[in-house]
Amino acid sequence: MSEEVPARPESLIEFPKIASEIDAMAKVDQDMRTKNLKEPCSGSLRLLDAKNTERMREIVAQIGWPTVSKVGTDASHGAWILVQHANHQIDFQEQCLTLMKQEFSSEVISKDLAMLEDRVRVGKNQLQLYGTQFRQMAGEHKPQPIEDEANVDERRKKMGLDSLEENIAGMYEKYGPPNQD
């Protein structure tokens, strides 16, 4: 599953209107999160996440997991972003994870699958498999506890992720050191 899923022309996707809707929702989600880094607006984020989760529940009930052939690569990734931010409904995240695991590897993005697996595990107070979920402690980005940490990079590689060390370095590059409030 480590290969990237190729982009699919819009004319070949099954649900182009849903794809457009997911793309728009994911763009607002990401814009709001980028803005939140500069001007904290956690209340607005919670409302947006709740609204997006409700709509994603409807979409998943209607078409199943938004796969590459159903909505295209970008919207499939966008669907994952929206579900990844549904922390307030771990049961829904777990439902989507199960649906993603049932698909052929060409229908889901392996990195997205790995990150949702970890998000669900952390949400259920379990050890993560891939080390994709972090916490900020004492001015550092630290991964949440990892199952069999000695072999995490091997698992990460199979899912198309960079090494844990590279991931941590990327966090500092993208976000800088966490606030020590």
pLDDT of residue 99: 98
pLDDT of residue 11: 65
pLDDT of residue 138: 84
Instruction: Delimit the domains of the chain by residue range.
Output: 10-110, 134-175
Residue 69 has pLDDT above 80, yes or no: yes
What does the alpha-carbon distance between residue 108 and residue 85 come to, in Å, rounded to a whole number?
A: 18
Q: Give the residue-averaged pLDDT of 25-36.
A: 91
φ and ψ at residue 135, rounded to 5 degrees: -130, 160
What dihedral angle (degrees, nearest 10) is formed by the CA atoms of 32, 34, 39, 41? 30
